[in-house]
Amino acid sequence: VENGRLICPYHGWQYGGDGKCHLIPSLADDEKPPARAKVDSYPIQVKYGIVFAFLGDLPEQERPPIWDVDVYEDPDWRACEINVFDVDYYYQRSVENGLDAAHNEFVRFFVVVSVAVSQLYNLSNKVSIFFSFQ
């Protein structure tokens, strides 16, 4: 959420609280988002840097609370994330994703300190890569 707008982390589209798309960064400067570029609107709460959306139909006073993480405000505490994931999919999917350049500015934001590739296979036009980011 930035300046009251929800920003899609994949392509950077910006939506207002009414669900209307206000900005599509890949459009030319003189183009406006089409009217059909809209999403449903839900009540949200931003906590711990995460946008929580309530998808139910309960009145506000009956909605379940968002849990408290007591150490979140402690300056000596920090969240660490280590992503380890396996990729086992058809090579064409990776190429298609790479050609979708509009999302790179918004998705490829992390800094890779070290990458460990433990296995790489190329069998019958399929690629399997097993690696971890730290």
Per-residue pLDDT of the chain (134 residues), as tens digits, is 889 898 988 889 999 988 999 999 999 999 999 999 998 888 888 888 788 889 888 999 999 888 888 888 888 877 666 666 666 766 676 666 666 666 666 665 544 444 444 444 455 555 544 444 44
What amino acid is encoded at 93 in this protein? R
Tell me the three state secondary structure of residue 9: coil
Spell out the residues 6+ positions from residue 49 whose beta carbon is closer than 8 angstroms to its own.
Answer: none
Residue 111's closest CA among 133, 85, 83? Answer: 133
- Nearest residue to 24 via CA among 8, 39, 40: 8
Residue ranges and CATH numbers for the domains of the chain are 1-56 (2.102.10.10), 83-133 (no CATH)
Q: Is the pTM of this model over 0.75?
A: no
